[in-house]
Structure 1
């Protein structure tokens, strides 16, 4: 007999993603990119349906979300020039009126932005990290840090896909010019005046409020490990050889050698990542929650922490440096993740139902 408690059949879940009017008209659970998530939710008795968001029909989206008991959100911070500037207030309003929302915009502003790298720099995943709150502070403080500590990586506070992420290197015999490489695919190194770098970065203060500055990690060519989390538990891993912030070969950024490798997905029990799993579940996630003031029920149903390899420790074991947390739109995901999402959703809906009825 199945003794697991399930939400009432009357409860519904909206899965929100960005799209145009055609996507709004044509998207179904069966043809959605989240089809495996829909299937896992249905297997636990949760009635989920897709909702497509665009600013041009935001009022209709609001009505659909208010009719649901819960909302899962998959919308990037920046997509084809559009931001979440209008969506986030809508989601706050929906959550205030009753439906449970994951990830809530206020939680994203704590953990799903680059500032988390600065606020949690004291944890085991931390590195040499600084924050600039204005263009004036950046102009005054960054050059000496670059000279003293070697290559740096600048990151706008809110972004995705490498947008607003720059590797910066000092050049010999000059303080006026620096070498920069944007993390977006197809970029080439450029030698530009420092004033030009300041001008490129200045808009980031308006959108995200700050710029984060981390030491460049020399083991970047060894790849990035993406640790997928559902709530406070690991749901899987992905390992990928990345090419962002690595100068392209002489053939140029479009050459095959300049392209990132495939992300190889692994389940949560994959042997190579068990030390990282223990650190995430037993130490770093609880410590992050305490530092940021986030309770476990507010953690996103699906999020990921991206790690680069740090220097080996005294015993020769790998260390890991956090380079980003994705909490706005974590996809693609390992094949084990939809079931983990469904389990977490079941628990959250029950708790939300109990809170409303209590």
Structure 2
């Protein structure tokens, strides 16, 4: 009997169907089994970590992680187990450190040498560096601060100075009044800069704390462009148009954005440029195999020649869902099989 593809889930959470599984998990299991590849689902439980590891090491040829980070209480133990499985020869889809490297907001600051991210994009890992650099960044242009934790726009702030700075000033005074709009629901708050930076310390301190500081792109009001990838294959493009209100810049459904699904061919310039950058992206983010199912979010900008260009805003590869199009499971199954055959000696496939 050939080895199995193991799908990892956790019990509970709002992403489960009536059968207790994510709605897009069993379609992938079924699609693999239809192609003669053994597959099953295992629910990760931290109290059974060693038992799960031993089973997958013996019976698994690859794993596919389908756990939403918001449902995972013991992330470090889970990732440690996945690392050990990869070291033992089980193929990681994706490797846990690829999940961290691609999914962390500071991926943007690591990609400033590509043409996807402006070079005035900064990552703040300490409060001191944040307080030293951010007033300088804000003096140059309107900014967006993004916390590493959180989701659906929480802790993502559009920040600009209410009154223009005096000519020649290169840093914003701490008592300057600033307008802050949170992406979660586009609500507006007014602060003094110093007080706001003190408020933002919560995003830097604690586990995985960090802030990304990048320039605000006014054309975000034209929509965010999400590219869905299956390893190195573009699948479709989702155009997310923010709500048509004065301060709206968030493209989350929660904030009232409208979604449209397009073919990759409809966004040829974006897709071709992104694919051309993939080798450099892979190198800069740790040289891991590309994730199985992942997304890259872009915003429109205008380059020095007055042409459209696309700025990367975020990568997600932890647990990208496709519950609205379950037939996609067959393409995923084909990609899993292709990846296994590319990375596994023929003799090992039949063990």
TM-score range, shorter chain: 0.7 to 0.9
1:239 aligns with 2:251: no
Contact 1:236/1:334 (CA < 8 Å) preserved in 2?
no
Deviation string, structure 1 residues 55-102 (Cα, Å, up to 9, x no partner): 46655654554442211112334x169472332112112222332111
| Alpha-carbon distance in 2 for matches of 1:21, 1:284 | 36
| Alpha-carbon distance in 1 for matches of 2:4, 2:303 | 48
Pick the aligned partner of 1:115 from 84, 106, 109.
106
| Alpha-carbon distance in 2 for matches of 1:246, 1:63 | 56
Contact 1:228/1:333 (CA < 8 Å) preserved in 2?
no
Secondary structure, counterpart of 1:285 in structure 2: helix
| Alpha-carbon distance in 1 for matches of 2:124, 2:240 | 30
TM-score, normalisation: structure 2: 0.81
Contact 2:296/2:314 (CA < 8 Å) preserved in 1?
yes
| Alpha-carbon distance in 1 for matches of 2:254, 2:97 | 40
Across the aligned residues of Structure 1 and Structure 2, the Cα RMSD in angstroms comes to 3.5
Displacement of 1:26 after TM fit? 4.4
Deviation string, structure 1 residues 208-243 (Cα, Å, up to 9, x no partner): 253211111101111111111122221222112135
Deviation string, structure 1 residues 168-210 (Cα, Å, up to 9, x no partner): 22232763243222222x3511123433433333343432253
Change (3 A) 1:121 1:265: same
Matches within 5 A, 1:94-243: 94-127=85-118, 128-149=120-141, 151-172=142-163, 175-176=174-175, 177-184=177-184, 186=185, 188-193=187-192, 194-243=194-243
Deviation string, structure 1 residues 37-65 (Cα, Å, up to 9, x no partner): 33432343222222333546655654554
| Alpha-carbon distance in 2 for matches of 1:244, 1:211 | 28
1:11 aligns with 2:14: no
| Alpha-carbon distance in 2 for matches of 1:338, 1:26 | 18
- Report what 1:309 is aligned to: 300
1:93 aligns with 2:84: yes
Indicate the larger mover: 124-133 or 330-339. 330-339
1:74 aligns with 2:66: yes
Pick the aligned partner of 1:322 from 284, 299, 312.
312
Pick the aligned partner of 1:291 from 279, 284, 290.
284
Deviation string, structure 1 residues 302-341 (Cα, Å, up to 9, x no partner): 1111111111663x64210000000111123784743442
Question: What residue ranges of structure 2 are gaps of 5+ in the alignment?
Answer: 165-172
| Alpha-carbon distance in 2 for matches of 1:220, 1:46 | 43
| Alpha-carbon distance in 1 for matches of 2:323, 2:111 | 25
Change (3 A) 1:165 1:59: farther
- Report what 1:40 is aligned to: 31
- Report what 1:273 is aligned to: 267
| Alpha-carbon distance in 2 for matches of 1:111, 1:73 | 15
Change (3 A) 1:356 1:37: same
Change (3 A) 1:313 1:139: closer
Secondary structure, counterpart of 1:142 in structure 2: helix
Change (3 A) 1:131 1:26: same
Displacement of 1:142 after TM fit? 0.4
| Alpha-carbon distance in 1 for matches of 2:131, 2:347 | 51
- Report what 1:259 is aligned to: 256
| Alpha-carbon distance in 2 for matches of 1:80, 1:105 | 16
Contact 1:181/1:245 (CA < 8 Å) preserved in 2?
no
| Alpha-carbon distance in 1 for matches of 2:246, 2:296 | 21
| Alpha-carbon distance in 2 for matches of 1:81, 1:15 | 15
| Alpha-carbon distance in 2 for matches of 1:131, 1:81 | 25
| Alpha-carbon distance in 2 for matches of 1:38, 1:291 | 33
Secondary structure, counterpart of 1:308 in structure 2: strand
Report how many aligned residue pairs link the two structures: 333
